[in-house]
Structure 1
């Protein structure tokens, strides 16, 4: 049973990579607590700004710029294209420069078009700004890679799911915040709607810059320090536990002479860095010694050999991207997060279309529910995935859970599409039911990601995240060409979700011969 005090306590850590084995979510003084906070809060702020347009597009911006329904849907598609490109690039960037700097870079660069949103006076200018604001959506990849780098296999699914779930809720909060900011500027400050919506975008812009700055000042790259020194730190930790250098580490990162780990002896240190572990010929205890988990030597060796992130070559990246296991992850996220992005963009208009009595603010608030449910539903997907993994000891459990969620999501979407409810409670109830399985699927997906090619976690995370955005683009196009027939688009997405995910049942959870991630 989970111990609530772990939310406050300094966590037990893996003795090799110093990843935490619990989440001190309510302990901002602890390094792991700070990283966990900035992982979700940074993505939350990014998601808020990324989706700041749809709540005001329904009426205000569309009227001010004389936008048709087609223009609005086209702008939703454009907003996803840049994110797709950035996510593809962010994965390798995380492996090369580290997720912390990649994360901050996405936020700082994305803040620029956010501040420029108010300079749009035509549909073309709006689409250009929305394209570049899409850079913020790419911050999801470093958010997940950073979380994976600080939390161990027993808890990483829960960590990733909570981080992304809280972050994704920015897509729901924006439906509350942007209309509130807009209404305040009009009613309290006396601005015209033409000016008010432009000024409103300054608020998320300021929040992005402050968050990115704090992220860099208050956190670090890895549990062991600088990103560039992660391999050396792993070697030192092995030596500190009487395990010598490793011959067959991935890409020779930790190559050297193998010590006689079973006898407790090790190769003497020969560098200044190595000497940090030894004092007067004796091993110097790690600063985490009081919190280190007791793991068997074989588990420690597997962690060092297969789970230390390296910079893969272009050829190796391609091999990883076309692996069946990576494709399963991509297809899963294509139909969970991709569908979420597309639905989130039109949900306010869908409610407004089926229930014309709802105002822009009211329809926006009901639409916000879909995004806000991420706070509970996405973490649930990760929590259950970790629970199944711990009970069965098999990654198969995580993969089967992922496929199950995708299929049931498809069933709900088909039900919504076929019935197209004109009763408000019925439609809201079906959307909420669908949201559980769809958003839990997001959490289950990134609970499974750390197990596939863990030495190239950035590449796998970037590919999976990009596929989610590709799904968002494809499904936004589906909505675009079906116009106001939102129900038809819903059942099309449902059919595709089932068809793309069922074949994953027959694919092994990780590649044959993979070291680490088991």
Structure 2
């Protein structure tokens, strides 16, 4: 039963990795609450800047730069290409250097092209700029890896879905913010449209830099301290609980293959016995007390869930495993659809409801992104609730259920192509509920798949999600303004892919951690 006090009181922690078993989201003083805030808010400002162009692109920027419909479509595609590349790189970087520094790197590097928007004078310049602004989209991977590193398996689906959902809402908020900033600069500051849309991009740049610097100053890499010392902390925590198993071979590499033999464990105790230790606080005050778990479970956490240094030899089997294929394939459909539809939704509304104008269509299009605040967390919450009753298989089937219903809504939107506002907006909201909920459920499942290489799995899943966005954006590109036809095609693809992946085990047979 949910205890509302967990929203502000210091959480119970896992005794091995110090991950929290609740989310003190209303307590920024607590280290877990602080990291939770900066994980979602950092991604929020990144998403805002990443999608700052579409709200002004169809009319204002297109008129100023003399863009064609093809130029606009190409810019939406190119905006996803850099993100695809960055996400694949960001995953291993998270495992190597830690998610906090990877996160900060994505934000700072991506903020530079954001502030250079004023230098764009033609379609080619717009393509180049949107490519480099796409670096910001790569911040999703460290956002999720950082969240996974601070919250335990019982609550990780909720934490990941809230951080991603609140962050993704930046794609909706930008439809309010950018037109509002633009209108203010034109009507109150007296700038011409030519200058106003350029100056508007300075605002997200300033906020991104401020958030990044603050994040680096007030947040740690892991609950146990420095990223480079995470394995030593796990070994020390085991030793403090009287468990002398050798789980660390060399710095950074966890030996997941050693058995719990009498020589390597603590044979005098029942391995399933519950161990209770009252803790008044660690040296940094980051936790109040520990959860009660069995000795064997503690060993499994240390051997199977402490992130290893990525090597090419270890990364390839992880990337090409059937389990990673499931998360990648499902995210290809859901997040790919979200990205591509988010780019054209304002234009689609403007086509069917011309009276709305640029600002009005933008505000209604914002609904799609803003629903992430509710729908994506709902997927994570439901996933964690099902996991508590059924285990990891329940999480997997929830993903497929959400995704297939999403595909059905996409087909309905495309085939009806409604010119009635209530019908159109209702169908889009229904699609958003299941599509964004599926995104939350997918990244609730990801931490269970090869947890010793969580950055690699997260990067691959996030990258393939972006690839889906590119493929679907290409469909929109060649369909021109037949947006409805593209949407039902995406729906068919979504259903077919999910049904074909539904039979695969959620966790590799024999895997130690992640259960």
Which residue number corresponds to residue 410 of structure 2? 413
* Structure 2 Cα separation of the partners of residues 289 and 495 of structure 1: 48
- 1:289 deviates by 7.5
Contact 1:157 1:447 in 2 (8 A): yes
- 1:98 deviates by 0.2
* Structure 2 Cα separation of the partners of residues 507 and 154 of structure 1: 22
* Structure 1 Cα separation of the partners of residues 345 and 119 of structure 2: 26
Which residue number corresponds to residue 345 of structure 1? 343
* Structure 2 Cα separation of the partners of residues 218 and 320 of structure 1: 33
- 1:94 deviates by 0.2
Which residue number corresponds to residue 295 of structure 2? 297
Comparing 308-317 and 210-219, the one that deviates more: 308-317
Q: Where does the alignment leave 5 or more consecutive residues of structure 1 unmatched?
A: 266-282
CA gap of 1:247–1:117, structure 2 versus 1, over 3 A, is closer
2:385 to 384, 387, 406: 387
SS at match of 1:261: coil
Which residue number corresponds to residue 437 of structure 2? 440
1:454 to 442, 451, 461: 451
* Structure 1 Cα separation of the partners of residues 236 and 281 of structure 2: 11
1:503 to 496, 500, 504: 500
Matches within 5 A, 1:253-268: 253=254, 258-263=263-268
1:492 aligns with 2:489: yes
- 1:253 deviates by 2.9
Matches within 5 A, 1:57-206: 57-206=57-206
Give me the TM-score of the superposition, normalised by structure 1: 0.94
* Structure 1 Cα separation of the partners of residues 445 and 190 of structure 2: 51
Contact 1:400 1:505 in 2 (8 A): yes
Contact 2:253 2:309 in 1 (8 A): no
CA deviations 1:365-407 (Å, max 9, x no partner) are: 0000000000000000000000000012x10000000001110
Q: Where does the alignment leave 5 or more consecutive residues of structure 2 unmatched?
A: 271-278
- 1:261 deviates by 2.1
Which residue number corresponds to residue 474 of structure 1? 471
Comparing 472-481 and 504-513, the one that deviates more: 504-513
Which residue number corresponds to residue 334 of structure 2? 336
- 1:245 deviates by 2.6
CA deviations 1:402-425 (Å, max 9, x no partner) are: 001110000000011111101111
Which residue number corresponds to residue 210 of structure 2? 210
Contact 2:377 2:440 in 1 (8 A): yes
CA gap of 1:232–1:194, structure 2 versus 1, over 3 A, is same
- 1:316 deviates by 1.8
CA gap of 1:494–1:284, structure 2 versus 1, over 3 A, is closer
* Structure 1 Cα separation of the partners of residues 280 and 87 of structure 2: 41
CA gap of 1:474–1:289, structure 2 versus 1, over 3 A, is closer
* Structure 2 Cα separation of the partners of residues 252 and 58 of structure 1: 51
2:513 to 510, 513, 516: 516
CA gap of 1:289–1:170, structure 2 versus 1, over 3 A, is closer
- 1:260 deviates by 4.0
Contact 2:307 2:451 in 1 (8 A): yes
SS at match of 2:418: coil
CA gap of 1:192–1:10, structure 2 versus 1, over 3 A, is same
CA deviations 1:76-102 (Å, max 9, x no partner) are: 000000000000000000000000000
* Structure 1 Cα separation of the partners of residues 298 and 210 of structure 2: 39
1:323 to 295, 318, 321: 321
Contact 2:281 2:288 in 1 (8 A): no
* Structure 2 Cα separation of the partners of residues 107 and 499 of structure 1: 36
* Structure 2 Cα separation of the partners of residues 261 and 286 of structure 1: 24
CA gap of 1:381–1:482, structure 2 versus 1, over 3 A, is same
CA gap of 1:509–1:249, structure 2 versus 1, over 3 A, is farther
Which residue number corresponds to residue 275 of structure 1? none
Tell me how large the CA RMSD over aligned residues is.
Answer: 1.8
SS at match of 2:15: coil
* Structure 2 Cα separation of the partners of residues 55 and 137 of structure 1: 17
- 1:312 deviates by 2.5
